[in-house]
Amino acid sequence: MDDAKKPGLDRRTFLKGAVASAGASAAAPLVVAAADAEAKPRGAKPAAEAGEKKGHVGLEVIDRPGSDFMVDVIKTLGFDYMSLNPGSSFRSLHESLINYGGNKAPELITCMHEEAAVAMAHGYSKAAGKPMAVAVHGTVGLQHATMAIYNAWVDRVPIVMFAGNGLDITKRRPGTEWNHSVQDPALIARDFLKWDDYPMSLQHFAESTVRAYKIATTPPMEPVLITADMDLQEEAAGGSPTIPKLAHSVPPQGDQAALAEAAKWLVAAKNPVIIADRCARTPEGVKHLVALAEALQAPVVDLGGRMNFPNTHPLYQSGKRGLMHEADVVLLLEVADPFGQFNTIADPSKKLTHFANKDARVINISMQDVFLHSNYQDFQRYLPADLAINGDAEASLPALTEEVRRLVDDGRRRAFAERGARLKDAHARSRKRALEEAAVGWDASPISTARMSMELWAQIKGEPWCLAVSDRLRAPRALWSITEHHQALGGAGAQGVGYCAPGSLGVALANKAKGILTVTFQPDGDLNYSPGVLWTAAHHRIPILYVMFNNRAYLHETMHIQRMAGVHKRDVARSHIGTTIDNPFVDYAKLAQGYGVWAEGPVTDPAQLAGVFRRALAVVKSGAPALVDVVCQGA
Ligand SMILES: Cc1ncc(C[n+]2csc(CCOP(=O)(O)OP(=O)(O)O)c2C)c(N)n1
Ligand SMILES: [Mg+2]
């Protein structure tokens, strides 16, 4: 008989086999015991023994578990969402959130990987301007979450995380619960957490959670972690714990006298340059920077950690290293890598070149020295500053601008006007050059990233839009009109790949309530870390357009291997080994459809982009996610 037509296992034969093997199996009773243990709430006495009210699993009812109080605490902090991948170490808190808390403020967002849960919160916090909460299974969940926490740490983004854990060994179920317990859950992430605590009472939980929120949202903003002990969650809430009020701290302005001195230098400078990175925390920050730049008619280089300055403004001069050759005073505003603005290290020769004017005086306004950890090296190489001002850049700008305005006399005003006119010309020239560059390979296939970007821009420019990850492609930064703080949200922070897909979804979740259309260019390697985010997008109906920037490779790494092969004088043509994503190609449209997301592609003909983007945007505007797979060249 043909194999496909043979009958399968029939029920009678199956049962006979099962009975015969059950007697010999030592594992069977253990399985039953484990299942039984699974059903009992921790700390609850069997109802028969207790002679008390019965819950639906026949056990003592705990009317008010500690986790209900934890929900009361969490609700005072105003979270809209909490992302999670479920884990029994926080099962009581989870149940309290959905039943006692009504799954509202926060509403749970189901994620398929803890890294995705944290990266979503990272993107959300930047777009919403307030933190999102995350719950993780204390050991294994936190192990998965760590790289995403590190990205948020480097990006100075506040996230409030809760980890479940069981500390008391007499309460732990044998087996898994021991494997998933730890003395100190936060240890694995402590190098990139601003603060953490393991509360031992409900009062302690309330105080530490409110404190954690305040610490996370005080610049420099960073992730924090509170461990919710299983027994504290699951046992009846004792005592009369109270919830302290949340106090927001006012971001610190730099010292007034130091700002006055900085203003003197800037006003007197012939060629001042302003460099901004994670400067604007809010839309006000953009306005403040525009005011300072206009008062000085000074060029602004926006490094793009946040959207700091409109790229349509004539004083926007990003990407112009030549400015630094002439600069006599440089103002750094929350710049992640100050040394890198003056120096470069060639790769692979490691030859150091100081490309800026050697005599330039440096003013650095930053919160970086206020809070650092030693192990991870995100602080970059040391740059001596002539005037180092500890303070929040956004909060310091108005006072600095006031001082500048006070000092500008007619003579300086005339010089500034001339400088402004020169910069206006330079701005127009570089926009023209960017347009010409974008037209190169316009009809090529694989499609150029510039064509892909500009076809999308043509369709979204009339909408309120947001580019969720804005540090990858050059064309949108150079040619889209980026004028509002919410339109460009920087990148992963630490370049840990795997941020773009979930981070963008977190941005889209925040933008949903504001009616902002979220688009993102999604690198292929990045999506493959956590493709389950597509299911989260479909399940929670989060409108977002993922445009796959599919170069079918870990292309940055291909280029590194090429460089090494060149240095070693060996075959460059083999650099695809271990760095490309082909043979077979991944069908991203099918992948997305499998997760319930509308998708089309692969698109290889640039002439088809307009049509496919139109269809995809109609889906997104109806409130659902969509993905378009574009086969691209370049990185
Ligand atoms: C977690 C992590 N693993 C590995 C790397 C090294 N890495 C840097 S760029 C890159 C390629 C990413 O591929 P893709 O997202 O498709 O972007 P492309 O380089 O193709 O533009 C990799 C693997 C990293 N930065 N982060
Ligand atoms: Mg790629």
Measured CA to CA in angstroms, residue 625 lies from 144, 193, 504, 628 at distances of 25, 32, 12, 10
Whether residue 291 has its Cβ less than 6 Å from ligand 1: no
**What are the helix (H) ranges across 376-466?**
393-407, 410-439, 449-460
Stretch 599-620: mean pLDDT: 98
pLDDT band at 38 (very low <50, low <70, confident <90, very high): very low
CA angle in degrees (0–180, nearest 5) for 138-139-143: 110
Helix then strand then coil, % of the chain, to nearest 5: 45, 15, 40
Whether residue 556 has its Cβ less than 6 Å from ligand 1: yes
Residue 623, pLDDT > 50, answer yes
> How crowded is residue 603: how many other Cβ atoms within 10 Å of its Cβ?
25
Quick one: which H or E segment has residue 562? helix 555-567
Stretch 182-198: mean pLDDT: 97
Residue 21, pLDDT > 90, answer no
Tell me the per-residue pLDDT of 382-407, one tens digit each, with 9 for 90 and over. 999 999 999 999 999 999 999 999 99
Select from 601, 602, 592, 586 the least CA-distant residue to 624: 592
Residue 42 pLDDT: 53
Stretch 612-635: mean pLDDT: 97
* Whole-number percent of the chain with pLDDT over 70: 92
Residue 8, pLDDT > 80, answer no
pLDDT band at 9 (very low <50, low <70, confident <90, very high): confident
- Best of 471, 474, 554 to mutate for ligand 1, by most ligand atoms within 8 A of CB? 554
Whether residue 551 has its Cβ less than 6 Å from ligand 1: yes
Stretch 366-379: mean pLDDT: 92
Quick one: which H or E segment has residue 546? strand 545-550
Stretch 544-568: mean pLDDT: 97
Measured CA to CA in angstroms, residue 514 lies from 83, 465, 507 at distances of 20, 11, 11
Length reported for the chain: 635
In angstroms, the CA 150 to CA 160 distance is 14
Residue 371 pLDDT: 87
Tell me the torsion sign for CA atoms 403, 404, 405, 406: positive
In angstroms, the CA 557 to CA 604 distance is 23
- At residue 247, φ and ψ (nearest 5 deg) are -115, 130
Residue 36 pLDDT: 41
Stretch 475-482: mean pLDDT: 95
Q: Which amino acid is at 421?
A: A
Residue 20 pLDDT: 52
Select from 73, 233, 239 the least CA-distant residue to 168: 233
Question: Which ligand approaches the C-alpha of residue 530 most closely?
Answer: 1
Residue 35 pLDDT: 38
Residue 218, pLDDT > 60, answer yes
Residue 440 pLDDT: 95
Residue located nearest, by CA, to atom 13 of ligand 1? 554
CA angle in degrees (0–180, nearest 5) for 345-348-351: 35
CA of 128 to the centre of ligand 1 (A): 27
- Best of 448, 526, 556 to mutate for ligand 1, by most ligand atoms within 8 A of CB? 556
Stretch 607-628: mean pLDDT: 98
Q: What is the DSSP letter of 99?
A: I
Contact 269, 331 (CB under 8 A): no
Residue 45, pLDDT > 80, answer no
Question: Which ligand approaches the C-alpha of residue 630 most closely?
Answer: 2
Whether residue 210 has its Cβ less than 6 Å from ligand 1: no
pLDDT band at 7 (very low <50, low <70, confident <90, very high): low
Residue 157 pLDDT: 98
Q: Is the pTM of this model over 0.85?
A: yes
Q: What is the DSSP letter of 633?
A: E
Select from 198, 141, 186, 398 the least CA-distant residue to 279: 398
- DSSP state string for 152-201: HHHTT---EEEEEE---GGGPPSSHHHHT--S-GGGGGGGG-SEEE--SS
Tell me the per-residue pLDDT of 105-159, one tens digit each, with 9 for 90 and over. 999 999 999 999 999 999 999 999 999 999 999 999 999 999 999 999 999 999 9
Contact 233, 65 (CB under 8 A): yes
In angstroms, the CA 625 to CA 518 distance is 10
Residues 6+ apart with CB under 8 A from 315: 293, 294, 297, 298, 299, 300, 309, 420, 423, 427
Stretch 323-332: mean pLDDT: 97
Residue 416, pLDDT > 80, answer yes
CA of 524 to the centre of ligand 2 (A): 5
Residues with CB under 5 A from ligand 2 (ion): 523-525, 551, 553, 555
Measured CA to CA in angstroms, residue 85 lies from 213, 412, 540 at distances of 21, 59, 14
Pairing of strands 352-354, 343-345: antiparallel
CA of 496 to the centre of ligand 1 (A): 8
Tell me the per-residue pLDDT of 61-106, one tens digit each, with 9 for 90 and over. 999 999 999 999 999 999 999 999 999 999 999 999 999 999 999 9
Whether residue 525 has its Cβ less than 6 Å from ligand 1: yes
In angstroms, the CA 244 to CA 418 distance is 56
CA of 587 to the centre of ligand 1 (A): 19
CA angle in degrees (0–180, nearest 5) for 76-77-82: 115
Tell me the per-residue pLDDT of 425-445, one tens digit each, with 9 for 90 and over. 999 999 999 999 999 999 999
**What are the helix (H) ranges across 351-409?**
393-407
Stretch 47-52: mean pLDDT: 48
C-alpha torsion angle, residues 553, 557, 560, 561 (rounded to 10): -70
Q: Quick check: helix, strand or coil at residue 557?
A: helix
CA of 627 to the centre of ligand 1 (A): 20
Measured CA to CA in angstroms, residue 26 lies from 21, 29, 175 at distances of 10, 7, 16
Residue in the block written with tokens 């260019």: 521
Whether residue 524 has its Cβ less than 6 Å from ligand 1: yes
Q: Give the bridge partners for 331, in sequence order.
A: 274, 363
pLDDT band at 31 (very low <50, low <70, confident <90, very high): very low
Residue 5, pLDDT > 60, answer yes
Closest ligand 1 atom, residue 497 Cα: 26
Contact 172, 207 (CB under 8 A): no
Stretch 560-568: mean pLDDT: 96
In angstroms, the CA 50 to CA 260 distance is 73
Residues 6+ apart with CB under 8 A from 612: 600, 601, 603, 628
Residue 356, pLDDT > 70, answer yes
Residues 6+ apart with CB under 8 A from 141: 85, 87, 89, 114, 163
Q: Give the bridge partners for 366, in sequence order.
A: 390
Residue located nearest, by CA, to atom 5 of ligand 1? 497
Quick one: which H or E segment has residue 203? helix 202-216
Tell me the per-residue pLDDT of 270-295, one tens digit each, with 9 for 90 and over. 999 999 999 999 999 999 999 999 99
Give Cα 481 distance to the centre of its chain: 23
Stretch 178-189: mean pLDDT: 96
Q: Which amino acid is at 275?
A: I
Residue 22 pLDDT: 46
Q: What is the DSSP letter of 369?
A: G
- Best of 557, 585, 632 to mutate for ligand 1, by most ligand atoms within 8 A of CB? 557
Q: Quick check: helix, strand or coil at residue 106?
A: coil
Q: Which tokens hold the place of 183?
A: 């003395």
Select from 191, 109, 112, 181 the least CA-distant residue to 149: 191
